């Protein structure tokens, strides 16, 4: 008997462990969870590169647009 748990034998624990090891009903969910985590990790890793390149593009566009602007002549 396990300390603190009444009525549970080692035979029942071994049987439950054997069923857990042999049961493959949750395998698909685990595979989808691993696939999803891989896609999320790739997205997070790729986001930094995209953020850097978009920031550089916007800085170039901003400087080009600011160079086109001419201030109006002051009123006389």
**What are the residue ranges spanned by the domains of the chain?**
26-67
C-alpha distances in Å from residue 50, one per residue of 44, 53, 55, 63, 64:
10, 5, 8, 20, 21
C-alpha distances in Å from residue 26, one per residue of 15, 34, 50, 66:
18, 13, 36, 58
Q: How far apart are CA 52 and CA 50, in angstroms?
A: 5
**Which pLDDT score, from 0 to 100, does residue 1 have?**
45
**Which pLDDT score, from 0 to 100, does residue 15 have?**
84
* CB 1 within 8 Å of CB 8: yes
Q: pLDDT tens digits for 25-73? A: 777 888 899 999 999 999 988 888 899 899 999 998 888 887 777 777 8
């Amino acid at each position: 008997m396990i300390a603190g748990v009444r009525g549970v034998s080692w035979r029942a624990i071994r049987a439950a462990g054997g069923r857990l090891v042999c049961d493959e009903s949750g395998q698909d969910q685990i595979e989808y969870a691993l696939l999803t985590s891989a896609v999320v990790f790739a997205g997070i890793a790729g986001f930094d590169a995209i953020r850097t390149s978009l920031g550089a593009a916007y800085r170039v566009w901003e400087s080009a647009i600011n160079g086109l602007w001419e201030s109006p002549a002051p009123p006389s």
